Amino acid sequence: MMLLLLVTLAIIVLLTGAALWREHRRARTFRRLLDLSPNGLLILDRRQRVRWHNPAAARLLDPAEKTDPTGQPITRWLPMLDTLPAPMQRMETLLRRGDQQTQQDLTRLPDISRQRILLLHPTAEQQAGSEAMERFKRSQYFARIGTWDWDIGTDRLYWSEAIYGMFGYQPGEVTPSYSLFCDSVHPEDRERVKAGEQRCIDTGENHDEEYRVIWPDGSVHWVRETGNVVKNEHGQPVKMMGVVRDITEEKRSVRELEQRAHQDPLTGLPNRLMLEQRLFEALTRARARQTRLALVFIDLNQFKAINDQLGHASGDEVLLAVAQRLRSAVRSSDMVARLGGDEFVVLLEGLSRSSRVTDEAHQISEKLFASLAPVITLQGRDYRIGASLGVALFPDHAATLDKLIHAADLAMYSAKRSGNNQYRLGEDLNTHAHTLTPRYQIQHRRRPASVITPTSRAPAATPKPALSRVGSSPSSTVPM
């Protein structure tokens, strides 16, 4: 009987959750469950006319199904119900079906929004041989929805068959209990779930929680639990009833969508959106802690020629290798992002403001150039990839997010126009480019820059940088 009573809790969701699309979708699922229930469910208005009923109620009131109960007074079939019983009271009353009269077992459930709810119980004979209950159980299983009830203050807990699987058990494998339930909830979620249940008991508000459960095999799954309290005739809460839904796949889908929205699909690095969010947070910390922040824009030189000569698959290999090398060159607390194409960005936090700007930028650039210097093997031959860097420091070059990005971007393009493997500061962009330490210079053949030359060929002499780095004092140490 209790299983059948619990199904009626879905009406709460049906009546209160239709305002939101997500709740509306869940309400439709519960509506289908109610349609399959072998118990009759009736919602009456204040004049005791039938406002809504499920198919089982129509069959129990009128097996011939000649009359739709909607809009009809309930006394047409239950003439003794001039006065309804108290909520949660079960009783037998007279049922009139044409010229025939019989007894009908029913329970009045707690009112919802001033609407009376009656549960009509089929007899054992009516349930015998009926496939309705089996269909109802199967629908719960495939919808990943189960019903539960808990006797407040005790360890007594009821699960429908569908809930066993949500907690990693076969139906009947364990005896449900409140202590078993609490032990199954993830330790980080347990107190929050218990507090939500207590709040429901204390205030009568609907209980609605998403939490993780740990299966016996150690795997973690997500469920959403909704419910409400049932009070006795004295208004005291005696029971909680509700439903549980498996939302593991929904959580996985949401996580994948978030990753797609914030990560580059090829390299797995944060994308522009994630970079801007992280940069905003980093600027806030730098202002509060009086530290320096470095933003480095990186553009790979001659990358287009790799795609043109060797194909996009080789180009993807280069991008993956560059992403890995840049990640290895910085601290775990720093960020490497890909903006698209052959453009990358490095964000470094927590730098000291006491060092010279030029020394700081040179130290950062040398380490990044060094990480990119090793050859990359493509289709059996070794290649070197050059880069141009634009370095902007907070608060030295810009004080806001947009201006810092703009300064680094302009500096990178200025360095790119100045030659291969050079970096430029965000300040004074009309002056000289800053060049890399000679040992990291890339060897070039005297041929157009759009042509990629493998290192296995005899290289020409390394051209000397046209301009030397501004400042000759020792560079400061950059924690990477």
pLDDT tens-digit series, residues 93-135: 888 877 778 888 888 888 777 788 888 888 766 655 455 555 5
pLDDT beyond 80 at 162:
yes
Are the C-beta atoms of 244 and 222 separated by less than 8 Å?
A: no
What pairs with residue 293 in β-bridges? 394
Handedness of CA 74, 75, 79, 83 (dihedral sign): positive
- Cα(456)–Cα(273) distance, integer angstroms: 40
CA distance 468 to 174: 76
CB of 347 closer than 8 Å to CB of 337:
yes
Span 245-263, mean pLDDT?
A: 82
Hey, what long-range contacts does 270-275 have (CB within 8 A, 24 or more apart)? 270/335, 270/336, 270/337, 270/338, 271/337, 271/338, 271/339, 271/340, 272/337, 272/339, 272/340, 274/337, 275/335, 275/337, 275/339, 275/345, 275/347
428 within 8 A of 414, measured Cβ to Cβ: no
CA distance 376 to 318: 7
Residue 408 pLDDT: 92
Confidence of residue 183 (pLDDT cuts 50, 70, 90): very high
Cross-strand bridge partners of residue 2: none
Which of the four pLDDT bands, split at 50, 70 and 90, describes residue 31? low
DSSP β-bridge partners for residue 434: 423
pLDDT digits (tens, 9 = 90+) for 197-249: 999 999 988 889 999 999 999 999 999 998 888 888 788 888 898 889 899 98
The model's pTM? 0.47
Instruction: Give the residue with greater pLDDT, 393 vs 258.
Output: 393
Q: For the chain, give every domain's residue range.
A: 2-248, 264-440
* Residue 324: count of CB within 10 angstroms of its CB: 15
d(CA 148, CA 159): 5
Domain spanning 264-440: which CATH class is it, in words? alpha beta
Q: What percent of the chain has pLDDT over 70?
A: 77
pLDDT at 410 over 50: yes
Mean per-residue pLDDT, 46-53 = 89
Q: Do the domains 264-440 and 2-248 match in fold?
A: no
CA distances from 365 to 24, 291, 420, 444, 472 (A): 55, 19, 13, 21, 15
| H or E segment to which residue 5 belongs | helix 2-7
pLDDT of residue 80: 82
377-387 pLDDT tens trace = 888 888 888 89
Angle made by CA atoms 408, 409, 411, in degrees to the nearest 5: 65
Q: Measuring CA to CA, how many Å separate 304 from each of 310, 311, 479? A: 10, 10, 33
pLDDT of residue 21: 47
Q: Is the model's pLDDT at 157 over the cut of 80?
A: yes
The pLDDT value recorded for residue 89 is: 74
Q: How much is the pLDDT for 111? A: 79
Q: Strand order of the sheet with strand 237-246?
A: 157-159, 145-151, 237-246, 220-231, 207-214
With tokens 């090398």, the residue in question is 325
For residue 188, what pLDDT is reported? Answer: 95
Domain 2-248, classified CATH 3.30.450.20, yes or no:
yes
Q: Which of 92, 98, 8 is nearest to 53 (CA)?
A: 8
155: buried, middle or exposed (CB in 10 Å: 19+, 13-18, 0-12)?
Answer: middle
Write the single-letter amino acid at 81. Answer: L
